[in-house]
Amino acid sequence: MGGEVVSGSARQSSAGRRCQGCGAALAADNTARLCGRCHREQRDQLRTPPAHLRDEFFDTDEFRAAFDSHHIGKVFKAYRNHPRHLQLFGKGLNQELLGRWLGLTQAQVSKLENGPSEENLKTLRNYAKILHLPQSMLWFDFPGQTRLARVQHLSLPDLHAISSRNPLAPPALKLATDPSGTTTDDGDPAAVVSRLAEARAHFEQMYRNAGGSVTKARLDPYLSQQMVPVFAGATGDNGVAARRAIGGLIAFAGVCAYDSEDWVSANSNFAQALKIAAASNDHDFYAYVLALMVNQALALEDYKTAESLTSAALQSSVKLAPAPLTVDLQVMRAKALASMGDASAAMAIIQKLESAVDKLPVDNEMVEASYVQGGHLHAGLAEALMSLGDLGAAQRFGQQSLNSEGHARGKVNRLASMASIEVARGEIERASFLACEMVDNARGMESRRLARRFVKLRESLAEASTDVSLDAIDKIDRAITLIQ
């Protein structure tokens, strides 16, 4: 029952190595763990793709880069050359085998791997289903599903466990270097915190003016090349502040990815920011990051996840007063409950929030949550009420949101919300006027999220088909080609 029959130098075993399948001595030129016969037998078992691969199988640099590229051929190549296959067989899977699984020829697989990206959604879904690719890493959805990774709430003991696994927390605070290689800020952690705060303000303004895709293209290199702080060993207030500052930038990179509808990158950024909050036991910052994830869940219409994350965030926040972030979380919870059809629970929250929104302090103590202002909150309440069918109250809150001050991007979103409410009320002329104003205020912005909102509003206006609405639709169509 030995291994293969070999001759010459191939008869010599490789330093006494033996086949892990049958125990026979391995030939000197066999770098795999199996002899040729066991190798062939195991390859025969690969008549269909493995159906129960662990998540760790896809957690490699090659796979992450392939999924981020939105190119299925690069995913194929990463799959074929996975270290697991190299370890078992001494080489990767060939294109012919992969093609047999997918119903393709070797030439077709080669064309997919080396040619332009496949764009047909039905074809992409078929390939993903056959190879059992994880939905959370894909750049496209399946009907009735979303790619939003479900995140469980972490208790205080869990926070400490996360910090020990945090890849962004090596042992000591290291400052960024300038192109000449000299340390900047004279080794002063307080100066690093100040510089990071300035960077966040800069990128936040860029996001509000130009959109997420433009900002992300600038922010990602800033994080990866210029700021490489190592802060697990940093002590004192400056160490905590440095972690909070870099965590805020990483979370904001997630916001930019969300605005570009790159859900996988957004989740990755949010997860890193959560780890940083955990490492510092920073409850409020932890709640802030969860709030960003709630907002994304609402956008993906994953209302159950949104409600769950909201509960987790409210439990994490230690502030007792109706701080802006806490109120925003409650507003988003009302939106999720309303969308799930729980009218009584949603209305109970809305009724409690009516006075709280008007009593919020002008200055937000949490700089990361500066977006939480009266107009933003009134618009959220209006959207929740519209989901509940209370269009009169929705219109009242929507108008309050338009009367509030705010940055340009926030105004575009509030105008979109109000226009949708007016369509639902049958006020098509008013809705069309608001839609045109929305487009005018969005000039210069690039955002897939805004484009998605514009498309949805356009569809609502198209059902009315009046002369006024047709003019607004034409204006929206021209804007959509520019902002996404």
pLDDT, tens digit (0-9, with 9 covering 90-100), for 358-385:
776 655 667 777 787 778 888 899 899 9
pLDDT, tens digit (0-9, with 9 covering 90-100), for 137-162:
887 777 655 544 444 333 333 433 43
What's the pLDDT at 315? 77
pLDDT exceeds cutoff 70 at 230:
no
Please give the structure tokens belonging to residue 447: 């955002």
pLDDT grade for 386, boundaries at 50, 70 and 90 = very high
Please give the structure tokens belonging to residue 181: 């290689």
Q: Which ranges of 2-92 would DSSP assign to H, the alpha helix?
A: 36-44, 55-58, 61-68, 72-80, 83-89
| Burial class for 271, CB neighbours closer than 10 Å (0-12, 13-18, 19+) | middle
pLDDT, tens digit (0-9, with 9 covering 90-100), for 334-364:
999 999 999 999 999 998 887 777 776 655 6
Q: How much of the chain exceeds pLDDT 70, in percent?
A: 77
Residue 229: phi and psi, rounded to 5, are -75, 140
Q: List, in sequence order, every beta strand (DSSP E) within 390-444.
A: none
Quote the pTM value: 0.62
Please give the structure tokens belonging to residue 483: 């902002």
Distances, alpha carbon 347 to alpha carbons 205, 344, 395, 477, in Å = 35, 5, 16, 36
What's the pLDDT at 361? 64
Which sign does the torsion angle of CA 77, 78, 79, 80 carry? positive
Mean pLDDT of 92-106: 90
Mean pLDDT of 469-475: 85
DSSP per-residue string spanning 328-386:
HHHHHHHHHHHHTT-HHHHHHHHHHHHHHHHT--SS-S-GGGTT--HHHHHHHHHHHHH
Distance CA 277, CA 298 (A): 23
The 3-state secondary structure of 245-280 reads HHHHHHHHHHHHHHHCCCHHHHHHHHHHHHHHHHHC
